[in-house]
Structure 1
Amino acid sequence: MKTHSQTLIVTKNDLDDLNHVNNVRYIDWVNQIAKSHWQTQAKSHMLSNYYWVLLSHHIDYKHQIILKDTVTLKTYVKACEGVTSIRVVEILVGNKICAYSETKWCFINATTNKPSRITTEIIDLFQ
């Protein structure tokens, strides 16, 4: 599986009233890294002809993340079948997984706005 990563520094805007990263921010990060992975791997004709929509989202929070922590967002596609894929996102500080997410995405044809079977060409981008 091909992984894709980004690094960021936690700012005050990421925090909740308890001074750790707000759970809504984790969801933003999961979406951000998924979008980045698609946009950096897909060819221009893929980007103009297809897009992904989120069907379900599950996240396990394991350790808190606080102000000024350096966070690594790491993602990979765990499985593709039919019109859906399962994407994993690990949110790490150092080597410690602070959150683990699995999201189910549906592959959509941009012309019809209907689900489209994930082709071998698309699967090969992530395997």
Structure 2
Amino acid sequence: MQTYETLLTVTSDDLDELNHVNNVRYVQWVQEVAKEHWMTFATEDIRKTYFWIMLSHFIEYKRPAQLNEVLKLKTYVIKSEGVTSTRVVEILNNNTNKLLAKSETTWCFMNFETHKPARITDEVIKLFH
């Protein structure tokens, strides 16, 4: 399984009225880290031919993140079949390694030319598994 990780620091823009990271921000981070993973490992030719759209999103919040905490976003694909792929994102406190949130999203593989679902190619499956 191909894993991608990145770090970020919580800023005041990420906080809600309780001074915790806003739930919407977690969703944005899940989308951003998935895109970074794709952009890092997919070739330019693949990226010009295909793109992904999110079909469903489940996120479980375990602990709040606070201002100035360094977070580790870790993502990997657990299943790819037909036109869909299931991706996990774990958001952890980088210092304690405690899980703050975990998401599972289902993505649909799309053809840029037709804007219709496309069967996930073996080449793309090998990039992430």
TM-score, normalised on structure 2? 0.98
Which residue in 2 is equivalent to 1:55? 55
Give how far 1:6 is off.
0.7
Distance 1:121 1:36 in 2: 18
* Paired residue secondary structure (2:37): helix
1:44-75, CA deviations, whole angstroms, 9 ceiling, x for partnerless residues? 10000000000000000000100000000000
1:97 Cα offset (Å): 0.8
3-state SS in 1 of match to 2:21: coil
Aligned residues: 127
CA shift, 1:15, in A, is 0.1
Q: Which amino acid aligns with 1:3?
A: T
Provide the residue aligned with 2:92 in structure 1: 92
**For the aligned residues, what is the CA RMSD?**
0.4
- Match in the other structure for 1:45: 45
Structure 1: distance between partners of 2:56 and 2:91: 18
Corresponding residue number in structure 1 for 2:17? 17
Q: In structure 2, how many angstroms separate the alpha carbons of the residues matched to 1:36 and 1:60?
A: 21
State the one-letter code of the partner of 2:68: K
Distance of 2:56 and 2:84 partners within structure 1: 11
List structure 1 segments (4+ residues) > 2 angstroms apart after TM superposition: none
Partner of 1:105: 107
**Structure-2 separation of matches of 1:124 and 1:62:** 32
C-alpha deviations, 1:28-52, integer Å up to 9, x for none? Answer: 0000000000000001100000000
Q: Which amino acid aligns with 1:26?
A: Y
- 1:120 is matched with which residue? 122
Equivalent-residue separation in structure 2 for 1:83 and 1:106 (angstroms): 6
Letter in 1 for 2:104: E
- Using the TM superposition, give the Cα deviation of residue 115 of structure 1 relative to its aligned residue in structure 2, in angstroms: 0.1
